[in-house]
Amino acid sequence: MHQPSATPRPSIYYPYRVYDAWLPSRHPRDGRKPVVIVGSGPAAMVTALELSRHGVASVVCTAELQFSQGSRAIVFTRRSLEILQQVGVADRMMANGLPWRFGNSFYRGQRVFRMEAPHDPDDRYFPMLNIQQQYMEEYLYDACAASPLIDFRWGNKVTQVAQNEGWVSATVDTPEGEYILEADWLVAADGGRSGIRSQLGLQMEGASYEGFFVIADIRIDLPLPTERLAYFDPPWNPGNTILMHREPYGIWRVDYQLPEGETPDEALRPESLKARIDAQLEMIGFGGTPWDMDWSSVYSARTLTLPDYVHGRVVFTGDAAHLLPIFGVRGANTAFQDAQSLGWHLAYTVRGLAGPGLMANHSTERVGAAREIITEAGKSTRFMTPPTRGFRLLRDAVLSLSLTQDFVRPLYHWRTSRPHEYTHSALNSRGDDNALFTAGPAHGAPPRNVRLASNEFLLDHLGGGFDLLYFTESSAVPQPLLDVIEIWRAQGVALRITAIGSPVPVLGADHTLADADGRVRQRYGVPASGAAYLLRPDQHVCARWLTLDATRLHAALEQALQPVVVQD
């Protein structure tokens, strides 16, 4: 019988709430569900919220009774905030998080590189926002709890998954024993140590790096701005790297690499933690400042992914699907992108609005994203923890040259998490004008935000299904386009028309944006009236035309929902 801990986790700043376990005896017997999601981390909860946005109900089974232990992921990117805006939690993240855009790299007491993440007035969100993972999970959970389509079951541990012809059966253990839950689809979002991945005997591909890092969260009052601080080869930890981040609620993250040969157990002894944190504070000029320990943990960098995320009716997502180095803030930020993609691909499949190729497309696109991250993050990881003598020599040469030579300094630049562009997606329209545009987001790219005259932003007005951005100075959307759209809507496909460029409401459009200063047209590279962009439900561009006509719109929607996917 599964007995999750009902003792609130220790924390000096976050009051953990213990939720009641969902007990089968208190509920009617379950029929088969469209989707069961295993886990309650960011991947699981954003998937549930996305499914519910697209009209699909899910059951979320999570083993624990409370949010995860410790701050874990603390840095969230602009694109993550845009995704969280879609599921209704970005405002709470913004209200409580700390935005930032500068990073500093130090070597031998000298600042050798200052990273400046671009931020222009068209961006609603800062490049980065720091907030602890428990808060993010709380906001996501509150949104899940508010959705009538999400059945959230605390204290429900999935112990066994059996695949059948077109459905899955899960054995769920609870504080009063087991029950069986049947579903058309099961989403395994059960984290890096995924029991479901092991049970299905699936192997990840890639590499694991040897160096260990300690993450320690301390409460301390440091008069420093919210900027990322990285110290290379400091005297108290020769050859290694230390990172520091300000978190909300008076907490700082100190993240340091261990000397070769030291075990995680040795590193987490209180006296070892204290000596190193004191040494770091001393080095940056705050020796003697009082501090309290909140949480500490050890991690090592891995660049691993499953080669396929869809196995029969079981879909892996988030850390269950891949393990990526957290340098460059890739943990939860990647999980959000996975979940946003999975949410609509699965919803349209469950609702019978798409062909069998759509789930295969999800896997191909997200495995492609993981592989791109592995290549990029591998470079950062090899710089932080050189795996061989050769890499160390190279890294040390960069460090010492950077004291005097400007040209090597950009090598410090983190390759920070960014949204993957599905440039070669099978969903991209074949017969559109993508290649004829000279600017604007191309096939597979995420959308560009634009500040509107009202001080709102373009992305505030999008979401919920496919979005057609129709650039026009006419008073009405042409009838043939409306006829095609009506055909798709009648099948249940959500498609919203936003007319851009007319000072008065455009007949047939769901919404009109005047774009008086031409800013949207400029950001989207639109030369003349009649051009259009089609965004998928995850907002990535799947077609764009200099002149849209009904036949080409119909073909693009067919391509996006009935793809023929060739897997690697």
Q: Which residues bind ligand FAD (CB under 6 A)?
A: 38-44, 61-64, 68, 72-74, 133, 157-158, 189-192, 195, 215, 297, 299, 318-320, 326, 329-332, 335
- Smaller CB distance to ligand FAD: residue 268 or 401? 268
- DSSP line for 262-309: --HHHHTSHHHHHHHHHHHHHHTT-TT---EEEEEEEEEEEEEE-S-S
Residues 6+ apart with CB under 8 A from 107: 231, 232, 233, 399, 400, 402, 403
Task: Find the farthest-apart pair of alpha carbons in the chain and give their distance in angstroms, rounded.
Answer: 74
Instruction: State the helix-helix crossing angle for 78-86 and 42-53, rounded to 10 degrees.
Output: 40
- Smaller CB distance to ligand FAD: residue 302 or 409? 302
Name the residue among 134, 165, 129 with its Cα closest to residue 41. 134
- The answer to whether residues 129 and 256 touch, using CB atoms and an 8 Å cutoff, is no
Residues 6+ apart with CB under 8 A from 396: 233
In the bound complex, what is the minimum distance in angstroms from residue 558's beta carbon to ligand FAD? 33
- DSSP line for 168-183: EEEEEEETTEEEEEEE
Name the residue among 293, 350, 414, 484 with its Cα closest to residue 51. 350
Q: Cα separation of 261 and 258, whole Å?
A: 8
- Smaller CB distance to ligand FAD: residue 80 or 86? 80
In the bound complex, what is the minimum distance in angstroms from residue 71's beta carbon to ligand FAD? 7
C-alpha distances out from residue 314 to 22, 36, 166, 336, 370, Å:
23, 10, 10, 19, 19
* Helix (H) / strand (E) containing 373: helix 357-384
In the bound complex, what is the minimum distance in angstroms from residue 430's beta carbon to ligand FAD? 34
Partners of 451 in the beta sheet?
A: 457
- Smaller CB distance to ligand FAD: residue 27 or 430? 27
In the bound complex, what is the minimum distance in angstroms from residue 113's beta carbon to ligand FAD? 21
- Smaller CB distance to ligand FAD: residue 38 or 560? 38
Q: Cα separation of 231 and 244, whole Å?
A: 9
In the bound complex, what is the minimum distance in angstroms from residue 3's beta carbon to ligand FAD? 14
C-alpha distances out from residue 9 to 13, 175, 274, Å:
11, 19, 22
- Smaller CB distance to ligand FAD: residue 63 or 526? 63
In the bound complex, what is the minimum distance in angstroms from residue 28's beta carbon to ligand FAD? 22
- The answer to whether residues 541 and 486 touch, using CB atoms and an 8 Å cutoff, is no
- Smaller CB distance to ligand FAD: residue 346 or 469? 346
In the bound complex, what is the minimum distance in angstroms from residue 426's beta carbon to ligand FAD? 25
> Which backbone phi and psi does 10 adopt, to 5 degrees?
-75, 140
In the bound complex, what is the minimum distance in angstroms from residue 275's beta carbon to ligand FAD? 21
In the bound complex, what is the minimum distance in angstroms from residue 68's beta carbon to ligand FAD? 6
In the bound complex, what is the minimum distance in angstroms from residue 337's beta carbon to ligand FAD? 11
In the bound complex, what is the minimum distance in angstroms from residue 101's beta carbon to ligand FAD? 17
Structure tokens at 430: 């074949």
- Smaller CB distance to ligand FAD: residue 319 or 432? 319
Q: Cα separation of 250 and 229, whole Å?
A: 17
Q: Cα separation of 487 and 466, whole Å?
A: 14
- Smaller CB distance to ligand FAD: residue 36 or 535? 36
- Smaller CB distance to ligand FAD: residue 215 or 541? 215
Q: Cα separation of 467 and 464, whole Å?
A: 8
- DSSP line for 534-556: EE-TTS-EEEEESS--HHHHHHH
In the bound complex, what is the minimum distance in angstroms from residue 19's beta carbon to ligand FAD? 12
- Smaller CB distance to ligand FAD: residue 272 or 297? 297
C-alpha distances out from residue 503 to 5, 43, 206, 469, 506, Å:
59, 41, 54, 16, 9
In the bound complex, what is the minimum distance in angstroms from residue 339's beta carbon to ligand FAD? 8
- Smaller CB distance to ligand FAD: residue 2 or 461? 2
- Smaller CB distance to ligand FAD: residue 30 or 282? 30
Q: Coil, helix or strand for 379?
A: helix
* Helix (H) / strand (E) containing 79: helix 78-86
